[in-house]
């Protein structure tokens, strides 16, 4: 009887140790997924409309579409579908992600200062390569997994080059187009705009 009790105690101890270890060192859930992925980034504009991000020249803008509209068709109509791929930060070698346009793969998203230097805007650059971004952490982003919305993957997206700045649906300053996509400074990912990855 005694060996059996000892066996149960050992199993219980091992299980508790494993649980504590997993909790302490739980990996970023995005690392457990397969990459690259293709995303259209949306937020709920209203009960019947999405706000989505799309190309506007060399800038990015926010547009709206009815939720009843086919997102497959939207990806054909507009430059709004991204190929999201794992990368490494330039200095710390952390895992991060790049965004390039599905239909124009030499065009990459980057976070950089506005023309007046007072804001951080989301822009694009048409580089020479369809497999490597033009270089630098301005083209790289951290993806913070948030709770799913109605079964749809939801994330906050932070600039690697500008830590604490997240892609947002906030309106820019008055001297820019009101639909220009900006990054806003937030205390943590939970306070940032949450995008659904469709």
Closest CA to 107 of 57, 71, 155: 57
Distance, in Å, from the CA atom of 153 to the CA atom of 178, rounded to the nearest integer, reads: 27
Distance, in Å, from the CA atom of 116 to the CA atom of 185, rounded to the nearest integer, reads: 17
Please state which of the ranges 28-32, 68-72, 175-179, 188-192 shows the lowest mean pLDDT: 28-32
Which residues have CB under 8 Å from 111's CB, separation 6+?
Answer: 120, 121, 122, 123, 138, 141, 159, 161, 162, 165, 167, 183
Query: Mean pLDDT of all residues in the chain?
Result: 89
pLDDT (0 to 100) of residue 13: 45
Are 189 and 151 in contact by the 8 Å Cβ rule? The answer is no
Which residue in this structure is represented by tokens 């990912």? Answer: 189
Which two tokens mark 101?
Answer: 């346009």
Which two tokens mark 131?
Answer: 């497999």
**What's the count of helices (H) and strands (E) in the chain, helices before strands?**
2, 12
Determine how β-strand 81-88 pairs with β-strand 141-149: unpaired
Q: Give the end-to-end CA distance of the chain in Å, rounded to a whole number.
A: 57
- Each residue of 53-91: pLDDT tens digit? 999 999 999 999 999 999 999 999 999 999 999 999 999
pLDDT (0 to 100) of residue 11: 47
pLDDT (0 to 100) of residue 28: 60
* Domains with residue ranges and CATH for the chain: 28-197 (2.80.10.50)
């Amino acid at each position: 009887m005694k060996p059996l009790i000892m066996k149960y105690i050992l199993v219980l101890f091992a299980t508790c140790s494993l649980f504590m270890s997993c909790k302490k060192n739980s990996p970023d859930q995005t690392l457990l997924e397969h990459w690259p992925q293709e995303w259209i980034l949306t937020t709920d504009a209203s009960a019947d409309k999405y706000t989505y991000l799309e190309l506007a020249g060399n800038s990015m803008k926010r547009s709206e579409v009815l939720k009843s509209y086919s997102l497959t068709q939207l990806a054909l109509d507009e430059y709004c579908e991204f190929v999201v791929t794992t990368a490494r930060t330039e200095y710390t070698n952390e895992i991060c992600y790049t965004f390039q346009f599905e239909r124009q793969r030499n065009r990459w998203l980057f976070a950089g200062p506005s023309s007046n230097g007072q804001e951080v805007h989301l822009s694009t650059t048409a580089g020479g390569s369809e497999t490597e971004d033009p270089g630098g952490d301005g083209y790289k982003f951290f993806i913070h997994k948030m709770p799913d919305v109605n079964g749809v993957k939801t994330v906050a997206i932070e600039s690697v080059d500008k830590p604490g700045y997240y892609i947002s649906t906030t309106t820019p300053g008055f001297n820019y187009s009101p639909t220009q996509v900006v990054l806003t400074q937030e205390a943590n990912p939970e306070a940032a705009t949450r995008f659904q990855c469709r």
